[in-house]
């Protein structure tokens, strides 16, 4: 399991571990996608990596939403909406890859990484982390 960059730590070890794992999967996908235009195998590898990213994203979001619901986080609906938007972005990337409409894909990947890492992790996730810390929550229920 990769270590999590301190900037992203929310102080709940299970969630920090999930974020570290997720960032590692995002990086793996970006590396695979960088070679996607080379040949059919490159596209295949990018699709496999993206499928892994989609599956883990759903798993992580479900865990986070359950945790926030259990602690009556007041901005839960807003947080869920942000998750659904990220899932939609992933779906649209996936259909671009499957249809091999790849010209703008690298731009989208960078945009996606920026939105996720810097807005969601440092913004929305940091916000619920403050809330949970104030309540003394240190573990996933």
Residue ranges in contact with Fe ion by CB under 5 A = 64, 125
- By beta-carbon proximity to Fe ion, the closer residue of 64 and 112 is 64
Contact 112, 89 (CB under 8 A): yes
Contact 96, 38 (CB under 8 A): no
- By beta-carbon proximity to Fe ion, the closer residue of 52 and 125 is 125
Report in angstroms how near the CB of residue 31 gets to Fe ion at its nearest: 22
Report in angstroms how near the CB of residue 105 gets to Fe ion at its nearest: 24
- For residue 8, the 8-state DSSP code is G
Residue with the shortest CB distance to Fe ion: 125
- By beta-carbon proximity to Fe ion, the closer residue of 44 and 85 is 85
119 Cβ neighbours under 8 A, 6+ residues apart? none
Contact 91, 109 (CB under 8 A): no
Report in angstroms how near the CB of residue 108 gets to Fe ion at its nearest: 20
């Amino acid at each position: 399991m990769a270590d999590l960059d301190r900037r992203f730590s929310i102080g709940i070890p299970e969630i920090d571990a999930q974020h570290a794992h997720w960032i590692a999967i995002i990086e793996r996908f970006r590396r695979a996608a960088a070679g996607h235009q080379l040949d059919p195998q490159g596209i295949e590898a990018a699709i496999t990596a993206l499928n892994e990213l989609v599956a883990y994203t759903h798993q992580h979001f479900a865990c986070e939403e359950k945790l926030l619901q259990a602690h009556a986080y007041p901005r839960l609906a807003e947080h869920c909406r942000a998750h659904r938007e990220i899932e939609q972005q992933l779906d649209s990337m996936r259909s671009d890859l499957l249809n091999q409409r790849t010209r703008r894909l690298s731009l989208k990947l960078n945009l996606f990484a920026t939105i996720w890492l810097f807005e969601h992790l440092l913004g929305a996730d940091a916000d619920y982390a403050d809330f949970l810390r104030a309540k003394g929550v240190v573990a996933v229920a």
